[in-house]
Every structure is written in structure tokens, then in C-alpha cells.
Structure 1
């Protein structure tokens, strides 16, 4: 089966509410097309050939909910035009997954491929696999890295930001707005907390010579119950993009009376800790295309963060371009998928002898 045909098959399977059917299709394909040892768990599908080797290709088969125009009577709609395949999950990331599966099938020597569920829910599949002992020495996470250094070039990302989502809660005492001195205004306390946040400098770091800067943004504020009531509660939502080993000191807001801080989600950033491995993947990417790829950084969190946190040396390399994932007209370049197939196969075929 070709990369194109497998991409079409995977993209056609709805996997936003329940990725089980997509996982079953991947498992069945691996059992029929390869002689690998295939393991199916609640984390996803993991296949190993000849013991698994040093390097794993890692993807996911769940997707975000489709737009209305991406479905027809409950089925996913697929279109092909101008060498691009459109459909929910084509870029993020069933196209690259198809390329990786075909490369795994065709590569020589020991290797591993994993496709997890729940990446779009914070990486729950990757976390479960890691807890169960999934610990490759190296991993190429096949999220998008195309078009970062130049249009159409498939680069290699050596770092990406994490995401910490949190809520600041301010409490006060309700009173009639005609006599505000009898209450304590929670919104005022919340705005004081916002002032503290505005003074914080987002952290920065360098990864293999590349700058990575965090971001901090208040994304919502809600408080009060009526025009004539001093509010006794107010909540502020905060989106923070984290970098390896550094965090903004959001906890400073708790020095304000009546203010607490709760973290709802903390997706770890990723930093490749091995320059030689990064350049080995870059060499494979260079050999697979006429353009000159580069080592780059990504703004988005991926399962590479969980793997790196657990001790796996990671990079990100895949077909998706900036701005394609999660869109109503999501698509992927078929020629770039073929390129990714060559990158993955070249790397898997020589990684065992690499040092």
C-alpha cells in the first residue's frame, strides 16, 4: 500500500470522539504488512521489529472535532486537488503517520513505531505508555515541521514550547453597590493580579543555539452577579507558553489578599539534548529533498514534551505546515508526505549504526 492510499484510509476514519476504529485499522495494517511485534493497549498501538532498536517514530491517531463541511452524514469528507489531500486529520497528523508506517514497513533493521490516542486531550496516551515502560533512546515525533525555515521545506524542530493553563481566583465580600465600602471588591483584587502578570517577563532559553521565548497572556476574566452588587468573586484565565527549565513566576499573585492560583493543564516543553542526533535527522531530511532544511523551533506543545521529560532524546519532523492543523480546510501536501517517507526510512535504516 502506498503512502497516499494509506493516508486516504486513515483520514477517512472518524476519530475525534473515539479513536478506537483508527487504532484498530493501524493495528490490522501493521499485522498484515509487517512482521513486527504489535502491542495494542489503552495508550495506543506500538510495533517493534527485531527488538525495537534505538529509535522510535511517534505519532497519534486522534483528531480534533471536524467542521460541518468536513463531514457528510457522519463520515469524514476527503478531497484531492493540486497535489494536496484535504480532510480532518490530514495534516494533524494522519498523513505523516501513513508516511511513518510505510517507512517502518520498508526500513532495514530494528525499529519502533508508536501511534497514541489522546494527544489532543493533553497527551494522555503518551503518558500512559511512558508509565507502562515505553522509553526509546531516541524519538522522532512526526508533528509538523514543514515551512518553518522557508516555504515548502521540511525542517527538523529541536525544541518546542509547553503550555500551562491556569486560573487565578479572587474572592471578596459582597455588598450593595450604593455602599461599596461595606464590601471587598473581588474584581479590584483580580485587576491587581493582572497588574502583577503584566510585570512578569516571559522566560527565555537557548536550545542547540536556537532561541526559544515563552509567552504569557490573560485570556479571560469573569466576575460579578448584578449591576448593583459589589462582586465577591472573580476568575482570570491565563495561557502561558513555557520553555525548558524556565517558568514565569505566576505564583507572585498569591501575595495579594484573597487571591489563589490553580493550574489546570501543564504540557511540558521539549528540548533536544543531543546535537549529534539532531544533525543525524537533519542529514536524513537533507538527503530527501532538493531544498536545504534547517534546525528550527516550534511554538506548539506535542507528545515530544512528555517523552523528553521521561528521558527520551526527541526531535520533531513531519509534513504539516504552520497554520494547517485544526482548520476547517485542513490539508497536507502529498509530495511532502512522500518526502517524509524518505526521511523516516533513511533515518531508521541507518540509526543503529549511528553514533
Structure 2
């Protein structure tokens, strides 16, 4: 079984974590190595759940915080972009940005912070890069929510070293325009559903987006057509046309409220929900969050996309995104991460969790 030396520096540890291949659904070798390394630390309680590993301090502190990151990566390139190599201050290879730099930071802190100022739960989970039904953090939230309970959480996804608070929710619907089929040579015998869909597109074009201020951060909503389909043949007037619409909504709205709003926008049309995921409030009014921002000394911006911080929000735990790596380099063939960002991320979180020692 591969072994991880948690006494090595965080950059060397990142390379070692990356070199244990862990493409989604094949995380067992890395999960085994993480579990073995953490079980050797007497100050931690360790739980294994599938290919997720959870380690916790139990010092009776007034607050508990979570540091979380996923173990899996997208598939390797051909030829494989592993093992990791070091070039001009960068670690180059699969997983360096998304997100094994963050995982290595968690492991270093778990090993070296024996008496943090807050109790800490370290969560290493599986299957983030594939369909939501397989997501290990989702599984834990549904089957072992007590393991994720906390006052505040940090997801160490790559943020280029910045802090991104909470996240927006996302919703997808199909808006259907009805028509009457006819031969295209005699269109007056029918009603063209694609033409009728012009009103749906016009409503989208005229829609005025909302900017919502939530816990001190501005979230910019968006409502857009992301697909359109209709017609069965080149000589048939289509009797149906479907416009697929994506709504990115601020975390002051629930998924139900977001759907009700979209139905209002498209009143008179059949609106069918495809999928939805609530956003997450950043919780910057919480003491642990305020201490986090103060310790890092970085500005906080709203997370305009959706991330797994929303899973913590579902459990009543506010969360932010903070981790090493430029997200624009995630999943690329030449994925790479600046070594200094990994070092700085470890130092920043250490200031937060060990500031009084």
C-alpha cells in the first residue's frame, strides 16, 4: 500500500498525494493511505466511510470547524500526466490544482495541530468529479450528518489563494411552446411552435437580473437559455419547441423560491423542472468566520458558481471556498499549481487554527 509521510513539507506531500492515482471511483488506494497516516496520530478520532475518511479532534473547544476536500481527480491524459514534476516553482501534473494541494494542506494541519484553538473535523471524500449521485460528501450528509456538524466550514477547492464566500444556487427547467403540426408547404394549416418560442426568448432578453447582498457579499443572478430543441423533419411545421433555461440564484433564495420565480417569468407556459441545487450562505456574521477572515487578511468575494459548500449549508453550516491553485487550470492537460500558493494556504489556515499558541 502506498504510504504518506505527513512530516514532509506541504509541497513534497502534495506531490506524493498526486502520485497516488485516484480517478473518480478508484480512490481506494489514496483513501487507504490517508486513513493509515491519520490513524497513526493519537490526537485524532478517525472514521472510514466507503472511500471517505473523516478525522476529528475532540478537545472540548467552544467551536468546531470543518476543513474538507475531495480525493478524486478527472482521468489522466494519454500519456499520463503523472508522476508530478517540479518546474520553475510549479507542481505540474494531474490533481495539483484540483485539488490535491488542498488535500495536502489538510493532512499537514491534521498531523501538526495537536491542540488547535477550535476543534477541527478534517473530511476527505470521494467522487466529486462525477455525477452528483456518487458524491461522497452528499453521502455523508445524508447518512452520517453528525460527522459534518460544525459552526463553520472551509472547502479547499482551488480559489487562486482568495476567499470565496458561499455559492449561488442553480436550477434548470424546460419551457415548452406548443404548436400544431402541418406540412411545411401549407404552414397555414398549423402553428409553428419554434416561432412561438420567440416569446420565451424575448422574455429572457428583457429580463432584468438581480444582485442580492447576502451576509455582506454581492451575488449576481443570471437567467439564460442554454438549449433549444424542436422539429422532427425538414418538411414538417413543428408542434412543440422546448427552451432549456438555467437560473443561477443568490443564496437568499431556496430552490423552491427560485422555481416559483422562474414560473412567474414564464407564466402561461409549461415549465418542467430538470434539476436544482440550493446555494450556500457564507455566514460571515459567525465568530469562526470572522476570525478566519481576520487571520487570513484577504478580501472575500462571492462565489458566483456552485460548489460543495452548499452541502454544508443544507446542514446549517455556513461555508467558504479557500484553496491553492488557479481554477482555470483545473482539468487541463498541463494542470499545474504554484508551490508558493500551497505553502501560503497552509500558513494561513495555521494562523487561524493555532493563533493563540
| TM-score band w.r.t. shorter chain | 0.7 to 0.9
Does 2:158 correspond to 1:144?
Answer: yes
Query: After the TM superposition, which residues 208-223 of structure 1 pair with which residues of structure 2 at under 5 Å, given as runs?
Result: 208-223=215-230
Q: Distance in 2 between matches of 1:66 and 1:241?
A: 31
Partner of 2:46: helix, strand, or coil?
Answer: strand
- Say if 2:263 is the partner of 1:251: yes
Displacement of 1:273? 4.3
Rate the CA distance shift 1:235–1:158 in 2: closer, same or farther, 3 A: same
Cα distance in 1 for residues equivalent to 2:334 and 2:243: 32
Identify unmatched segments of 5+ residues in structure 2. none
1:115 aligns with 2:124: yes
- Separation (CA, whole Å) in 1 of partners of 2:211 and 2:102: 30
Q: Does residue 40 of structure 2 align to residue 32 of structure 1?
A: yes
**1:126 counterpart = 2:134:** no
- TM-score normalised to the size of structure 2? 0.83
Shift, 1:52, TM fit: 8.3
8 Å Cα contact 1:253/1:261 also seen in 2: no
TM-score computed with the length of structure 1 as normaliser: 0.83
Which residue of 1 is the match for residue 107 of structure 2? Answer: 101
The one-character-per-residue Cα deviations of 1:260-301 (angstroms, maximum 9, x if unpaired) are 322324252432242543331123324xxxxxx222222222
CA contact (8 A) 1:156 1:278 kept: no
Structure-2 separation of matches of 1:267 and 1:84: 35
1:313 shift after superposition: 2.5
CA 1:68/1:192 → structure 2, altered by over 3 Å: closer, same or farther? Answer: farther
For residue 323 of structure 1, give the secondary structure of its aligned residue in structure 2. Answer: helix
Return the offset for 1:171. 4.0
After superposition, the CA RMSD in angstroms is: 2.7
Work out the CA distance in 2 between the residues paired with 1:48 and 1:169. Answer: 50
Distance 2:60 2:128 in 1: 22
Higher mean alpha-carbon deviation, 275-284 vs 309-318, is at 275-284
SS of residue in 2 equivalent to 1:244: coil
> 2:78 and 2:245 mapped to 1: Cα distance?
30
* Greater Cα offset, 133-142 or 59-68: 59-68
Contact 1:156-1:281 within 8 A present in 2 as well: no
Q: Secondary structure at the match of 1:300?
A: coil
For 1:56, the equivalent position in structure 2 comes to 66
Equivalent residue, structure 2, for 1:181: 188
Residues 152 and 289 in structure 2, CA contact (< 8 A), matched pair in contact too: no
The total of aligned residue pairs comes to: 334
Equivalent residue for 2:347? 342
SS of equivalent to 2:328 = coil
Q: Distance in 1 between matches of 2:304 and 2:92?
A: 24
Q: How does 1:140-179 map to 2 (within 5 A)?
A: 140-146=154-160, 154-179=161-186
Alpha-carbon spacing, 1:250–1:331, altered in 2? closer, same or farther (3 Å) = same
What secondary structure sits across from 1:202 in the alignment?
Answer: coil
Q: CA deviation at 1:141?
A: 1.3
5+ unaligned residues in a row in structure 1: which ranges? 147-153, 287-292
Please tell me whether the aligned partners of residues 193 and 253 of structure 1 are also in contact (alpha carbons under 8 angstroms). no
Contact 1:141–1:315 (8 Å) recurs in 2: yes
Work out the CA distance in 1 between the residues paired with 2:92 and 2:316.
Answer: 36
- Summarize the Cα distance change of 1:173–1:62 in structure 2 as closer, same or farther, 3 Å threshold: farther
